[in-house]
Structure 1
Amino acid sequence: MKVYIAVVGNFPFGMASAYRIQCYAKALHYAGNRCTIVSTRTGKKMAGKSLLHSDSYDDVDFKAILNASPFKGQILTHLWQELEAYFLLAYLLFRFKRFDTIWLYGMGFIPRVLLLLFMRLLKKKVVLELNEFPYATERTRLTKINWFNKLLQKLTIDYLLRNFNGIVAISESLFQVASKADREKKVLKVPILVDLEKRGGPNTDFSNGMPENYVFHAGSLSVQKDGIFNIVEAFILAHKQLELRGVKLKWVITNTASQVWAKIEKTLKEAGLFDHLIITGYLNEDELNKWMSHSRVLIINKPDSFQNKYNFPTKAGDYLLSGRPLILASADQEINRFISDGKQGLIVAQNDSKSLADSIVRLVLDPELAQKIGAEGRERALTSFDYRVHAERISTFFKNLA
């Protein structure tokens, strides 16, 4: 079986989504299938052709329409992002003899409809990866209009989903949405996946210049998805408690690309703690592993929002795999199915900065508890999220599609 994973976005140098896509490809390979990732751009300039770039990354073959975006101006970049799904569609039509099944990641409503139409005419199978409730996030000016979002949601759920040959959902809530839309139950639930070869275990050697006590936060500084101000407030409260015990706590983040960054910066400066913030910038895989594996505490903070009800944070698998202790501020969400309080993590109430701060202090001051929770969390990642555990299920699902 030959599968193309079609990606509107960056691969291999993308964010969490690129890592998840790569795990899918490795799972298919592991089960004896051929798989190629086709993306609209690489995300980073690589040696080779600027257009229709072909290469291999970490033993996964990929093709990118653009070898990184050549556009400097904001207008041209935005225009390309609006049109890139159509270029991807054209490429797939041109290469249709090379694959049996398309696994679709990303793409808006109209390109999806066109892709389904053309692939049906060419007698190809199309599978959709469902990782968010359709149009629950606001990504373009057009879909920020509430009534238009609701229209796209209705069209997608009531009509579009049932026309895919199969759907892969990453959470139970999304599985239920897809199953209701597709009465033939051509739906497979696959949680977030991890690659053991890419992520190491805990590391307590601080002789290499790493700070000794810090809380690490990977990814965006989002209010809706990550409740970032609760984390900021918890850091301030935890720092005050630990300082009384002679422990200096730092907060490490990977970027400041957020609409609320100015407010975060102001809050930390008013608390006199901006100097205790470390901004790493973009981290490659080795650097990301290093920062995670040395962290005293890792936090997943998921406020009660419509978006969080359906999604599954990709970084949860890597956090657990790192072997460092996890604090989870979440309730009745997909991640809660895998975490028990006091075992794979400490669970605190949502929107409760004080409880979050108290848990940070508890783990920093109790290394034995931190080690125990980290070890159980890593075991959970090994048994539940390793792509090899799910490889045969994914392969069988694809082979049995009508």
Structure 2
Amino acid sequence: MKIIIVSRQYYPYGMASTNRVHCYTKGFTELGIKTELIIPEATIPYKDKEVTQNKIAEGFYHKTYFRYMSGTTIRNKNKWKRPFLDLISRIKTICYILKKTDQKTVLYIWGGGILWSSIMILCGHIKNAKIYTELNELPYGTTKESNKTRLFRYIMLNFIFPHYDGFIVISEALKKLAELYNKKTNCTLKVPILVNTNIARDIQCIPIKTPFIFHSGTLSEQKDGIVKMLIAFSIAKKEIKDLKFYFTGVLDKSKDAQIIQETINKYKLKDDVKFLGYLDEKTLRSYQKSCNLMIIYKYDTLQNKYCFSTKLGEYLAFEKPVILTNIGEAMYYMKNEENAFIAKWEDTNAIANYIITIIKSPELANKIGKNGLKTCEKEFNYFFHAKRMINFFRQKID
């Protein structure tokens, strides 16, 4: 058996989805399964060409072969040329898939809209390969709901989903969704967030003496509730004067920059909130190891009911107490004051009280952190789930 993953994301360095790919490929290769990762077109904006770590278009990353079919990771400077170059890269991808796949191949589609998914399914079935897709978000559910997103979701669910051989889903809600629109027997396997707990090994702490909260991820209010976290932080500051809050990312590049800045100004947090920019992996891990706690704030939205925050696994791997809101897939694994602190999603006062508890009760915080790590090792182990995935794929191939 061979696995070809077709992914339209940054590689080998990126955000949550890239890390999830790494967990898959690491597990597959450790199990002796030949794995390739194909990126159809260049993904790095031209303006980021000097700062990106993704400079190599073809090679191996942790024993997994990867290739940008564009021949470069950097998108063309000329906006008129980009669509033409993307088209050529996608045609190359189609030719590669038709050449490299056979009846013993798992073609794993990660991302892409209606047209691209249709083309990949067709290519795979022409070669008698088994076609699977990654389902970690509600289709067309990551932006504001509109007639357009509802129409595209309807087409995807009713006309694309039935033609997959199977789905790897990240949540129970997505499992039910896939099984509703694909009637094949045994068509889903739920694989939760994954983490390699070794990421916490041999990491040096940041020399910061004051207690601080750390957030790594987007600066999006819809996705990560930045404003709500800042409000809770401002309440906790009334009792813990020297508490700080550090965020990764650049505020000016956030679409919610104005409302975030207004919140900082309103609650007089200018000297207590810092945006660190985009951190390399080593520095990111140092902040994760050094902080006192993390918060994962999820609104009660359609998107959050279906997804599962990958950050949770990373946070737990560092034995840090995590404050969660009571929304989404995490509630299947996390228990309040057992392996996490859980508050109602709209209750910023409860979140603030948990912040104060963690800072003032280090023994309890350590206990929750250690229990969180145990949960991570048991439930989110990449190697365990890689074995489950291989068995799932083999059932269809055999």
TM-score, L = length of structure 1: 0.89
2:158 paired with 1:153: no
Contact residue 2 and residue 33 of structure 1 kept, 8 A:
yes
Matches within 5 A, 1:365-384: 365-384=360-379
Aligned to 2:243, which of 245, 249, 263? Answer: 249
Between the aligned partners of 1:10 and 1:225, the Cα distance in structure 2 is: 20
**Structure 1 position 145, deviation (Å):** 7.9
Between the aligned partners of 2:389 and 2:120, the Cα distance in structure 1 is: 22
Question: In structure 2, do the counterparts of structure 1 residues 47 and 235 end up closer, same or farther at CA, with 3 Å as the change threshold?
Answer: closer
Between the aligned partners of 1:18 and 1:133, the Cα distance in structure 2 is: 18
Aligned to 2:216, which of 205, 208, 218? Answer: 218
**Structure 1 position 315, deviation (Å):** 0.7
Q: Which moved more, 1:39-48 or 1:173-182?
A: 39-48
Q: Give the match for residue 141 of structure 1.
A: none
> Residues 312-367 of structure 1, C-alpha deviation per residue, up to 9 Å, x if partnerless?
01111111111010111123x21011110111111111121111111101101111
Q: Give the match for residue 62 of structure 1.
A: 66
Aligned to 1:328, which of 315, 324, 333? Answer: 324
Aligned to 2:142, which of 137, 143, 151? Answer: 137
Aligned to 2:115, which of 110, 116, 137? Answer: 110
**Structure 1 position 199, deviation (Å):** 3.3
Q: What runs of 5+ residues in structure 2 fail to find an aligned partner?
A: 45-51
2:192 paired with 1:191: yes
**Structure 1 position 222, deviation (Å):** 1.7
Between the aligned partners of 2:3 and 2:307, the Cα distance in structure 1 is: 25
Q: Give the match for residue 380 of structure 2.
A: 385
Q: What runs of 5+ residues in structure 1 fail to find an aligned partner?
A: 139-143
Between the aligned partners of 1:344 and 1:252, the Cα distance in structure 2 is: 23
> Residues 274-305 of structure 1, C-alpha deviation per residue, up to 9 Å, x if partnerless?
12122221122222211111111111111100
Between the aligned partners of 1:177 and 1:232, the Cα distance in structure 2 is: 34
Contact residue 179 and residue 188 of structure 2 kept, 8 A:
yes
Between the aligned partners of 1:54 and 1:387, the Cα distance in structure 2 is: 25
**Structure 1 position 237, deviation (Å):** 1.1
Contact residue 339 and residue 369 of structure 2 kept, 8 A:
yes
Contact residue 186 and residue 401 of structure 1 kept, 8 A:
no
2:265 paired with 1:264: no
Between the aligned partners of 1:232 and 1:368, the Cα distance in structure 2 is: 25
Q: Tell me the amino acid that sits aligned with residue 370 of structure 2.
A: A
Between the aligned partners of 1:398 and 1:46, the Cα distance in structure 2 is: 30
Q: Give the match for residue 128 of structure 2.
A: 123
Between the aligned partners of 2:238 and 2:89, the Cα distance in structure 1 is: 49
Contact residue 132 and residue 310 of structure 1 kept, 8 A:
yes
Between the aligned partners of 1:104 and 1:15, the Cα distance in structure 2 is: 18
Between the aligned partners of 2:86 and 2:231, the Cα distance in structure 1 is: 36
**Structure 1 position 58, deviation (Å):** 3.0
Between the aligned partners of 2:238 and 2:60, the Cα distance in structure 1 is: 48
**Structure 1 position 17, deviation (Å):** 0.7
Q: What is the DSSP-based 3-state SS (H/G/I as helix, E as strand, rest coil) of the residue aligned with 1:275?
A: coil
Q: Tell me the amino acid that sits aligned with residue 401 of structure 1.
A: K
Question: In structure 2, do the counterparts of structure 1 residues 304 and 32 end up closer, same or farther at CA, with 3 Å as the change threshold?
Answer: same
Q: What is the DSSP-based 3-state SS (H/G/I as helix, E as strand, rest coil) of the residue aligned with 1:4?
A: strand
Quote the RMSD (CA, aligned, Å). 2.4
Q: What is the DSSP-based 3-state SS (H/G/I as helix, E as strand, rest coil) of the residue aligned with 2:261?
A: helix
Q: Tell me the amino acid that sits aligned with residue 223 of structure 1.
A: E
Q: Tell me the amino acid that sits aligned with residue 247 of structure 2.
A: I
Matches within 5 A, 1:328-367: 328-331=324-327, 333-367=328-362
Q: Give the match for residue 231 of structure 2.
A: 233
Contact residue 103 and residue 128 of structure 2 kept, 8 A:
no
> Residues 24-54 of structure 1, C-alpha deviation per residue, up to 9 Å, x if partnerless?
1112223221111112347535565xxxx32
Q: Which moved more, 1:15-24 or 1:94-103?
A: 94-103
Q: Tell me the amino acid that sits aligned with residue 153 of structure 1.
A: R
Q: Tell me the amino acid that sits aligned with residue 218 of structure 2.
A: S
Contact residue 23 and residue 195 of structure 2 kept, 8 A:
yes
**Structure 1 position 185, deviation (Å):** 2.7
Between the aligned partners of 1:340 and 1:145, the Cα distance in structure 2 is: 31
Between the aligned partners of 1:253 and 1:122, the Cα distance in structure 2 is: 47
Between the aligned partners of 1:176 and 1:116, the Cα distance in structure 2 is: 22
Matches within 5 A, 1:276-295: 276-295=272-291
Q: Tell me the amino acid that sits aligned with residue 149 of structure 1.
A: T
Between the aligned partners of 2:84 and 2:14, the Cα distance in structure 1 is: 20
Between the aligned partners of 1:80 and 1:231, the Cα distance in structure 2 is: 42
Q: Give the match for residue 174 of structure 1.
A: 174
Between the aligned partners of 1:223 and 1:54, the Cα distance in structure 2 is: 36
Q: Give the match for residue 49 of structure 2.
A: none
Question: In structure 2, do the counterparts of structure 1 residues 209 and 74 end up closer, same or farther at CA, with 3 Å as the change threshold?
Answer: farther
TM-score, L = length of structure 2: 0.89
Question: In structure 2, do the counterparts of structure 1 residues 145 and 91 end up closer, same or farther at CA, with 3 Å as the change threshold?
Answer: farther
Question: In structure 2, do the counterparts of structure 1 residues 267 and 147 end up closer, same or farther at CA, with 3 Å as the change threshold?
Answer: closer
Between the aligned partners of 2:379 and 2:89, the Cα distance in structure 1 is: 35
Q: Which moved more, 1:6-15 or 1:75-84?
A: 75-84
> Residues 58-87 of structure 1, C-alpha deviation per residue, up to 9 Å, x if partnerless?
333211224321433666668867986565
2:26 paired with 1:17: no
Q: Tell me the amino acid that sits aligned with residue 68 of structure 1.
A: T
Contact residue 109 and residue 120 of structure 2 kept, 8 A:
no
Q: Give the match for residue 47 of structure 2.
A: none
Contact residue 103 and residue 129 of structure 2 kept, 8 A:
no
Q: Tell me the amino acid that sits aligned with residue 108 of structure 2.
A: W
How many residues align? The count is 385
